[in-house]
Amino acid sequence: MNVDTHRILKINPAVQSVNEVVGEVEVTVDLPINFLRIKVFRVGKNAYLGKTNYAIKNPIQFEPYQPSHNPSKTIQKAIEEAVEGFMSFYDPKMKDETKFVIVENF
């Protein structure tokens, strides 16, 4: 899909951003949630973000974490970084205290 984001942004001042969804994958995980869905957004030229359908909160975190906040150069890298970022907050030693929070409007 070829989207002219500049034209869409000019429609109304209330329109803040336009991010094209370029794909979605499902990753099976050995966690209470069973799978992690990752939606990949194009946020610029050769810039992609992978966002997960769950946020994770272990007992030492202040609030749940949801990847991804930093753009990647490829769709593949955006997916990998979303999985790595999410799993980096999972510690099997704290599995009973870890919460998985479904992301609204995923």
The per-residue pLDDT for range 43-100, each reduced to its tens digit, is 888 999 999 999 999 999 999 998 767 899 999 999 999 999 999 999 999 999 999 9
Q: What is the pTM of this model?
A: 0.84
Q: Which two tokens stand for residue 38?
A: 């990752």
- Of the pLDDT bands very low, low, confident and very high (cuts 50, 70, 90), residue 4 is confident
52 neighbors 67 (Cβ within 8 angstroms)? yes
49 neighbors 59 (Cβ within 8 angstroms)? no
**Number of C-beta neighbours around residue 18 at 10 A:** 16
Average pLDDT rounded to a whole number, residues 27-32: 95
pLDDT of residue 68: 66
- Amino acid (1-letter code) at residue 81: E
Note the Cα 96 to chain centre separation in Å. 24
**Number of C-beta neighbours around residue 7 at 10 A:** 9
What are the E-state strand segments in the chain?
20-28, 35-44, 47-52, 54-57, 99-102
